[in-house]
A and B are shown apart, each in its own frame.
Chain A
Amino acid sequence: MRIVAEHLSCIYNAKSPFAVKALDDVSLTVEEGEFFGIIGHTGSGKSTFVQHLNGLLRLPSSLKRGKKKDDTVLTVGEFDLTSKKTDFRALRKRVGMVFQYPENQLFAETVFDDVAFGYKNFAEKKPEQGELETAVREAIEVVGLDYGAVKDASPFDLSGGQKRRVAIAGVIVTKPEILVLDEPAAGLDPLGKREVMSLLHKLRESWCKTVVVVSHDMDEIAENCTRVAVFTEGKVKYVLPPAELFKRTEELTELGLDVPLTAKLVLALKKRGVTIDCDYTQEDFIRKVLARRGEKC
């Protein structure tokens, strides 16, 4: 499924002293199969944008087409979110959303029940026990947990990293085609971060064709994403592949954004007269640096 947004705007608390323009004329396309990154400052509108993708935030009814002349477009696959008749349940089944600190949404007595929650909700009719069990088992195993060991445990007894996996399993159990994650690795240790990221790659190959990740961690973005959108003050500033984007280290720094460690090193080396042309993943950077070293010696 393709995500297309054109001229999308969103104002919180309109017509009151608290009015905030969260999105301002955002146009963005995410192709099927992408690992799409969204970066930006706190309050730049990235979370607001992703919440539009499965209809948790809806376009104001005054903007609905037909009533007023408006050029807002927001489609996810065949779902037209500017229309009133959209089946949001069907949409949410196919667009999975993992919020920040998803472990805070765990509630059931056992891991099994928590993961099964979404599956039962989206099922057309009550699923049979066997079918439910297969789905839950698959979801728990794909996030890298031992089904037999955790299925009857209370989710509150697990470690932080395990809780997060259970929460992600609870979202992907319906095998959504698009998976949207808001800061999936926040608050985890470096190993946990790497594990979550490799989990996402695994998911992209098998279950969810498109992955959209909101993140603060530029290293994460540089390593994993196919394209990156930069949000500032509700607007989209750039949409570029990381290899192009992080060439603009200075512009990004001006926007108050961090750059990956590799980009910082490239810039520092450039100042000393060594130009390294890499795609800003650690692997490529190391290889290029070593190659340069080989040239010199």
Chain B
Amino acid sequence: MLKDVSFGQYYPVKSFVHNLDPRLKILFLIGYIVAIFLAKEFLALGLCAAVLLFAILFARIPFGKVMRAVKGILFLVLFTAVINVFFHSGDAVYWDGPAVLWEWKIFHVTQAGIVFSAFLILRLFLLVICSSLLTYTTTPVSLTDGIESLLTPLKWIRFPVHELALIMSIALRFIPILMDETDRIMNAQKARGANLDSGGPAKRVKAIVPVLIPLLLSAFRRADELGDAMDARCYSGGKNRTKYKKLRFSWRDLLAFVLLAALIAGVVVMRFYPVFPL
């Protein structure tokens, strides 16, 4: 059951995107998010979507897997969209008919609201898909390597970059372990007749206690053990540590970089010279 959680899980195939430098992928993600938020019209967002589709194809990740990441936030997205449909005001007219379609006290549905909500849904979807694409195609280790390398300038102001990267990689590494652990504990309690999947919200919260307490205990125990193990092997922070895998830019990264630059340029241009403004 918990094995179905797909957000943030590495998908091991060999592909163009998998081979990109993690630093570039992180920058690409940031640049891409900026582009999504700069986009003010459907055409610009469509351009972003096209680039993402391209990236998914080249990452050789099955489309269903990508969509599963969306499923996790579906509720949030729909909730936001519904709120926006009822509260967004504007008198723009997109099709024949009155600008305000329905009104009751403070609620109103306008044409502008509907269009804006659709825009919002698309934007949120792109956001989630591109972030999950990063974790699908990058192992946690290379992801933290990339982050550490990108944050290196902060070392000048004595920011503990290496420690931060270590915390991140440990946290990421422990997600599957804790997930397995949760599964095991849930099974053990189910074998003792615990009813974890049915009942009202209050009942469910109460039912989760027998899972949560052993899980917390085991998390603390593991943290202790890991700390001891690191001490025993004389771990003392990032100073003088060398890396097994050095990060290097290659022609692939240049290609991806050019694509991103083109995307941002296109979106910026469209912002100033809108084609079909909202």
- A residues near B (Cβ < 8 Å) are 12-13, 17, 51, 54, 56, 89, 92-93, 96-97, 99, 102, 104-108, 117-118, 121-122, 156, 170-171, 174
A117 close to B192 (CB less than 8 A): yes
B185 close to A105 (CB less than 8 A): yes
B191 close to A99 (CB less than 8 A): yes
Which of the 9-residue segments B77-85, B165-173, B208-216, B255-263 touches chain A?
B208-216
B218 contacts partner chain A, Cβ-Cβ < 8 Å: yes
A-B pairs, 9 with minimum CB distance:
A121-B193, A118-B192, A97-B191, A107-B213, A105-B188, A122-B193, A107-B210, A99-B188, A56-B187
Q: Which residues of A contact B194 (CB under 8 A)?
A: 117, 121
Within 8 Å by CB of A121, from B188, B192, B217, lies B192
A102 close to B210 (CB less than 8 A): no
- B residues near A (Cβ < 8 Å) are 3, 11-13, 184-185, 187-195, 209-211, 213-214, 217-218
What are 11 residue pairs bridging A and B, where the CB atoms are less than 8 Å apart in the complex? A89-B193, A89-B195, A96-B191, A97-B188, A99-B184, A99-B188, A102-B188, A104-B217, A104-B218, A117-B193, A121-B194
Min CB gap B4→A, angstroms? 10
Min CB gap B179→A, angstroms? 13
Task: Specify the chain B residue showing the minimal Cβ separation from A106.
Answer: B214
A170 close to B13 (CB less than 8 A): no
**Interface SS of B by simple majority:** helix
Q: Which residues of A contact B192 (CB under 8 A)?
A: 92, 105, 117-118, 121, 170-171
Q: Which residues of A contact B213 (CB under 8 A)?
A: 107
Task: Specify the chain B residue showing the minimal Cβ separation from A121.
Answer: B193
Min CB gap A47→B, angstroms? 10
Task: Specify the chain B residue showing the minimal Cβ separation from A174.
Answer: B193
Q: Which residues of A contact B211 (CB under 8 A)?
A: 107
Task: Specify the chain B residue showing the minimal Cβ separation from A115.
Answer: B192
Instruction: Give Cα A97 to B243, complex, Å.
Output: 46
Instruction: Give Cα A99 to B190, complex, Å.
Output: 11
Task: Specify the chain B residue showing the minimal Cβ separation from A17.
Answer: B12
Q: Which residues of A contact B11 (CB under 8 A)?
A: 17
B214 close to A104 (CB less than 8 A): yes
B13 close to A105 (CB less than 8 A): no
